[in-house]
């Protein structure tokens, strides 16, 4: 059974013992597990990694099928599952389970995934996708957090924090907590303090590179790549920042088509665009057609998927795309 995360009310949760949570939004998954499973739960919680189950599946089956000596209920959470564990999942979901909630967690599962198909087609087991949040939604989360905690911070600075998190709610929560602890007494924070606190100097190089690419400034792209030692391990941040910028450009294009006024479009856009970026953003909106920007998004999404499969080749592939895009 396919559900949206907000549909996982108590009555629906109690109708199933098996849950598949998949997608890259680990922060939202954590919120759902805490809210709907762990809140007020007084039973036993058991965690497995896929590797542990593959090495000794009897321990897993024993945990699922037998009652605890210490509690009347169990929550069993299995992290980072892949197709390697499909037969075990198929077996356990076919059995009668009582007083236990079994949660399978995976990052990427495409439509052809046997695990995903199993959960989607059967009515007694629940499947929930957790996709990356868009910047507007993350901006609202951050804005509400700072308002609730009475921290004075500008919209532009909230946007700066959101961009740094590249669509990851868990990263955003970590950065907000840093700022909350920093502002515990003074309740106010400047752009300079934010930049130092959440290590934005390096991140700004990513955004400068991406903005130069989307502005077709090939000379500047070459200069940034040559002057910065981007490591292979940082490529996931770069590619997610790229996706975030492309999605923002798509939303700006939609708004521009409605208003017909580029300056008004940029001024009213939410989350707000930092004043010094407005000129380059205007250029991007005018440079890119709808078809071309969607084609680029497809290419970058494809790269992100392959990045996870072949991380050693990621750096060259990403830079090749950025160089090619800036020069077309």
Report which secondary-structure segment, H or E, holds 10. helix 10-13
Compute the average pLDDT of residues 4-33.
81
Confidence of residue 111 (pLDDT cuts 50, 70, 90): confident
Confidence of residue 312 (pLDDT cuts 50, 70, 90): low
Task: Report the DSSP pairing between strands 18-22 and 126-129.
Answer: parallel
Give residue 201's pLDDT: 47
Closest CA to 162 of 130, 132, 192: 132
pLDDT tens sequence across 51-98: 999 999 999 999 999 887 777 889 999 998 999 999 999 999 999 888
Confidence of residue 10 (pLDDT cuts 50, 70, 90): low
| pTM of the model as a whole | 0.60
How many CA atoms are closer than 13 Å to the CA of 145, on its beta-carbon side?
21
Confidence of residue 174 (pLDDT cuts 50, 70, 90): confident
Report which secondary-structure segment, H or E, holds 76. strand 74-79
b/e per residue, 95-112, with b = 16+ CB within 10 A?
eebeebbbbbbbbebeee
HEC string of 199-234?
A: CHHHHHHHHHHHHHHHCCCHHHHHHHHHHCCCCHHH
Determine what percent of the chain is predicted with pLDDT higher than 90.
Answer: 39
pLDDT tens sequence across 191-203: 888 877 776 545 5
- Where is pLDDT greater, at 195 or 130? 130
Least confident of 151-160, 231-240, 268-277, 317-326: 231-240
Confidence of residue 15 (pLDDT cuts 50, 70, 90): confident
Confidence of residue 204 (pLDDT cuts 50, 70, 90): low
C-alpha torsion angle, residues 70, 76, 79, 81 (rounded to 10) = 140
Compute the average pLDDT of residues 110-133.
91
Give residue 208's pLDDT: 85
């Amino acid at each position: 059974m396919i559900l949206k995360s907000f549909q996982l009310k108590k009555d629906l949760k109690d109708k199933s013992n098996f849950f598949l949570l998949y997608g890259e939004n680990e922060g939202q998954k954590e919120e759902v597990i805490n809210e709907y499973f762990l809140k007020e739960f007084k039973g036993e919680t058991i965690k497995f990694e896929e590797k542990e189950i593959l090495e000794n599946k009897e321990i897993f089956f024993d945990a699922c099928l037998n009652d605890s000596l210490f509690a009347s209920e169990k929550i069993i959470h299995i992290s980072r599952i892949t197709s390697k564990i499909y037969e075990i999942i198929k077996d356990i979901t076919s059995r009668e389970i009582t007083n236990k909630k079994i949660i399978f967690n995976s990052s990427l599962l495409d439509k052809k995934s046997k695990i995903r198909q199993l959960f989607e087609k059967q009515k007694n087991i629940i499947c929930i996708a957790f996709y990356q949040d868009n910047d507007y939604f993350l901006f609202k989360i951050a804005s509400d957090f700072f308002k609730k905690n009475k921290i004075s911070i500008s919209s532009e600075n909230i946007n700066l924090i959101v961009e740094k998190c590249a669509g990851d709610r868990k990263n955003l929560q970590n950065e907000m907590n840093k700022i909350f602890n920093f502002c515990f007494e003074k309740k106010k924070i400047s752009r300079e303090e934010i930049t130092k606190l959440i290590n934005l100097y390096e991140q700004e190089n990513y955004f400068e590179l991406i903005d130069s690419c989307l502005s077709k400034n090939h000379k500047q792209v070459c200069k940034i790549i040559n002057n910065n030692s981007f490591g292979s391990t940082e490529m996931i941040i770069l590619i997610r920042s790229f996706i975030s910028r492309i999605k923002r450009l798509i939303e700006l294009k939609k708004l521009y088509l409605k208003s017909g006024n580029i300056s008004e479009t940029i001024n009213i856009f939410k989350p707000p665009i930092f004043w010094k970026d407005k000129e380059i953003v205007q250029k991007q909106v005018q440079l890119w057609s709808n078809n071309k920007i969607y084609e680029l998004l497809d290419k970058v999404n494809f790269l992100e998927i392959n990045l996870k499969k072949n991380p050693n080749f990621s750096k060259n592939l990403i830079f090749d795309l950025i160089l090619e895009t800036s020069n077309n």
